[in-house]
Structures are given as C-alpha cells and as structure tokens.
C-alpha cells in the first residue's frame, strides 16, 4: 500500500509510485505525452494477463461454464471483449453498473432474498430502471417555460423524422422513458449522431461534450446486425446490451463508420433488441434504410464533468448550452434555434 494514498488523502498515487513511474501524475487537460501512453498500455496489458490467468484458474477449479464478473474491473470493456477468447468459459455476464454503484442493488438483493427469504423471481433484461416522466409532465414543463416545440402525431413519424435528422448530420438529444441504471447511456438519455460522418467525432467533442479530440464514441447496432459489422463473440455476450464490451470492427467497415472506429480498429459496442427498447431499435433500423449502415453514434446526454441528464429541465438546459441541434423528448421535438440560445439565460429560464 506504500504506492497508494487514497485511503487517507484526496489523491490515489503516492510520491513513491510517481518516482517509480518516472514523473508526476498527469494533470487534467494537460498534454498527453508518450510516457502517459506507455503507462496506460502497460497497465492494460498486465491487467489482462493477470485477469485471464485468474479466470482460467477459477474455471479449472470449478468447471463452471458461466462467468459473472463484479467490481469496478467489470467496466474494463477492452478486457471484457477478450474474456471468452482467452478463457474456457462459454458465457460471460456483468451487470450495467458492476462498480461501487452496483453495491446498492447487491445490498437490496441480499436483504430481500437472504435475510427476508423471498424467492428469486426477477431477471435483469435491460438497464432501464431509473426515473420516468409522463407525456403530461413533459408538456407541462415545455408550456410553463414557453419553450417552442412541435408534437409528433405518432411513433412512426417520430422515428422517421429523427432518423432523417441524424442522416442530415444533425445532433440529437434523445430523452425517452425510464433512465438507464449505471454509468452508460443506453438509449434513454443519449446523444445520437451519424456514425458515417467523418467529422462527427470532432463536432461532438468540441461543441457538445467539450472534451479532448482523441476521445472516441460508441457505436450502437441492433443485435441481429452486430455480427455483420463486428468481430464479436457468437452468440453475442449479454454485456453488449450495457456497452461493456469492446470488439474489433470488421475491416471492410472501417471507412464507412469512421466516427465510431477507434485507432486500433475496435469499437465499444452497444447492442439492442426490440423488446428492450422498441423506439430506439426502430430508429436505428430506419437510419440504416437511409444510410445503408444501421449503426448510430450513442454517447451520454451530458457535457463533460456533469451527470447524465435525468429530468426534462436537465435535458433542455444541456441542449441549449451545447451544439445539440434538436431534442426528441417523449413525443415532442424541440429545435435549439427556435428557442433562447444563451446557456446561462436558459438555466434561469427553464424551471422544473
């Protein structure tokens, strides 16, 4: 523990660790140099080596074909995508928030089943467990704040309009139904954009997310299309539903979806089935009809350093303070240009 001080200080690394790694901890927003890249690559390499060795040891001891991973390491999506190819397990699963946040579900489950003795009858099929807002609540918010909007006549119009806007390289704030559980936006509180647009990554990083230009974005694809575009496990591992697996993108598609292709040719994949989120699923399919590529950019609906939006007010303020062009919130379409444009005015203007 002499290399770490997080248990009694507001930082993780001790001076001893910095000395071992030949320099201080990188400050946020400072330049990335080769030393930083070497440390990150080495840590990932050693983590994977140790992880796979441990997992194979567990398999040899138990001969159990099913692996469940818990703890913050379950968020290491690069390693997750290699588990089945580097171990003898047949199936791999981790929950949407395997880190510290997931302990709340674990505690509740332990009390309910182990202490109170209730039978286990719940299966986690998706991550949409958070707050929801009714159409009436959202309309009330929009009208109360004199926000200009149009209303879709039905879901078909919503899907077609949204897909066409994305195809036309508009950035969409997507706010639908229950919020996701965990750190990933999975199609309820998402920013959606055109994966085929080579300038989309730079646009999102500079005008929406306000983060470094190198940071990649995640592709979302309907599960029945995933194997065509990604060299992923077959059958597809369930954690892809939670954006917790990185897989190689097949080479023939690298130039077709440049904004979600990492420098090493991989992508942190999210898959979706229609029974999990039909509106999201159908919008991706509709975009595929227009573009020939049924893959969207999906990134969390927030700016860097802020939590993912939860309420209608959060979503509106985020749109008005960024380069998001439209907000599709329930059955309503809000165009940024039709409303007050100053971020600070909008925060004062929009009240829950």
Whether residue 279 is found in the same domain as residue 341: yes
Q: Token match 């030393």: residue?
A: 35
How does DSSP classify residue 216?
A: -
Tell me what pLDDT residue 352 has.
Answer: 46
Whether residue 148 is found in the same domain as residue 293: yes
Number of structural domains (the chain) is 2
Whether residue 94 is found in the same domain as residue 159: no
Residue 129 lies inside a defined structural domain of this protein = no
* DSSP string for 86-153: HSS-SEEE--S--SGGGHHHHHHHIIIIIIS----------S--S----HHHHHHHHHHTT---EE-S
Q: What's the CATH code of the domain at 139?
A: 3.90.870.20
Share of the chain above pLDDT 90, in %: 84
**Taking the CA of residue 290 as centre, how many other CA atoms within 13 Å lie in the half-sphere pointing to its CB?**
22
Tell me what pLDDT residue 14 has.
Answer: 94
Whether residue 89 is found in the same domain as residue 199: no
Domain hosting 49: range is: 15-100
Average pLDDT over residues 252-262: 96
Whether residue 73 is found in the same domain as residue 217: no
> How many Å separate Cα 220 from the centre of its chain?
9
Backbone angles phi, psi at 193, to 5 degrees: -150, 175
Residues 228-256 have pLDDT tens digits of 999 999 999 999 999 999 999 999 999 99
* Whole-number average pLDDT of the chain: 94
Please state, in angstroms and rounded to a whole number, the distance separating the CA atoms of residues 327 and 74: 32
Residue 115 lies inside a defined structural domain of this protein = no
**Taking the CA of residue 90 as centre, how many other CA atoms within 13 Å lie in the half-sphere pointing to its CB?**
4
Question: What are 315's two structure tokens?
Answer: 């979503």
Question: What are 90's two structure tokens?
Answer: 């047949």
Peptide bond into 275 cis (omega under 30): no
Residues 66-107 have pLDDT tens digits of 999 999 999 999 999 999 999 999 999 999 999 998 899 889
Average pLDDT over residues 324-342: 93
What is the model's pTM?
0.94
The Cα angle at residue 103 between residues 100 and 108, in degrees rounded to 5:
160
The residues facing 219 across adjacent strands are 297
Question: What are 149's two structure tokens?
Answer: 């909007």
Confidence of residue 121 (pLDDT cuts 50, 70, 90): confident
Whether residue 40 is found in the same domain as residue 177: no
Confidence of residue 8 (pLDDT cuts 50, 70, 90): confident
Tell me what pLDDT residue 38 has.
Answer: 96
The Cα angle at residue 24 between residues 22 and 30, in degrees rounded to 5:
120
Tell me what pLDDT residue 265 has.
Answer: 97
Please state, in angstroms and rounded to a whole number, the distance separating the CA atoms of residues 272 and 298: 12
Tell me what pLDDT residue 84 has.
Answer: 98
Confidence of residue 342 (pLDDT cuts 50, 70, 90): low
Residues 263-319 have pLDDT tens digits of 999 999 999 999 999 999 999 999 999 999 999 999 999 998 899 999 999 999 999
Whether residue 92 is found in the same domain as residue 196: no
Tell me what pLDDT residue 71 has.
Answer: 93
Confidence of residue 6 (pLDDT cuts 50, 70, 90): confident
Please state, in angstroms and rounded to a whole number, the distance separating the CA atoms of residues 319 and 166: 15
Residue 62 lies inside a defined structural domain of this protein = yes
């Amino acid at each position: 523990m002499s290399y770490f001080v997080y248990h009694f200080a507001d930082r993780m690394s001790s001076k001893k660790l910095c000395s071992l790694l030949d320099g201080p901890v990188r400050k946020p927003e400072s330049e990335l140099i080769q030393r930083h890249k070497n440390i990150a690559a080495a840590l990932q390499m050693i983590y994977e080596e140790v992880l796979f060795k441990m997992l194979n040891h567990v398999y040899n001891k138990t001969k159990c074909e099913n692996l469940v991973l818990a703890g913050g390491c379950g968020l290491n999506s690069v390693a997750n995508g290699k588990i089945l190819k580097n171990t003898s397990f047949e199936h791999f699963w981790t929950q949407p928030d395997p880190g510290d946040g997931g302990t709340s579900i674990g505690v509740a489950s332990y009390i309910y089943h182990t202490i109170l003795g209730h039978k286990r009858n719940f299966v986690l099929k998706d991550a949409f467990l958070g707050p929801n807002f009714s159409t009436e609540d959202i309309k009330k918010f929009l009208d109360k704040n004199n926000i200009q909007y149009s209303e879709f006549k039905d879901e078909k119009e919503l899907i077609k309009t949204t897909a066409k806007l994305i195809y036309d390289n508009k950035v969409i704030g997507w706010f639908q139904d229950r919020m996701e559980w965990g750190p990933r936006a999975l199609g309820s509180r998402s920013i959606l954009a055109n994966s085929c647009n080579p300038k989309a990554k730079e646009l999102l990083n500079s005008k929406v997310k306000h983060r470094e230009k190198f940071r990649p974005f995640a592709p979302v694809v309907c599960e029945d299309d995933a194997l065509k575009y990604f060299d992923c496990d077959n059958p597809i591992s369930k954690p892809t539903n939670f954006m917790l697996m990185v897989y190689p993108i097949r080479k023939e598609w690298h130039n077709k979806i440049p904004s979600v292709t990492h420098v090493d040719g991989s992508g942190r994949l999210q898959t979706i089935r229609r029974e999990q989120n039909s509106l999201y699923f159908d919008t991706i399919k509709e975009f595929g009809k227009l573009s020939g590529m049924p893959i969207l950019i999906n990134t969390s609906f927030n700016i860097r350093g802020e939590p993912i939006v939860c309420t209608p007010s959060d979503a509106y303020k985020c749109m008005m303070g960024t380069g998001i062009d439209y907000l599709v919130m329930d059955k309503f379409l809000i165009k940024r240009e039709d409303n007050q444009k100053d971020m600070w005015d909008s925060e004062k203007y929009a009240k829950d």
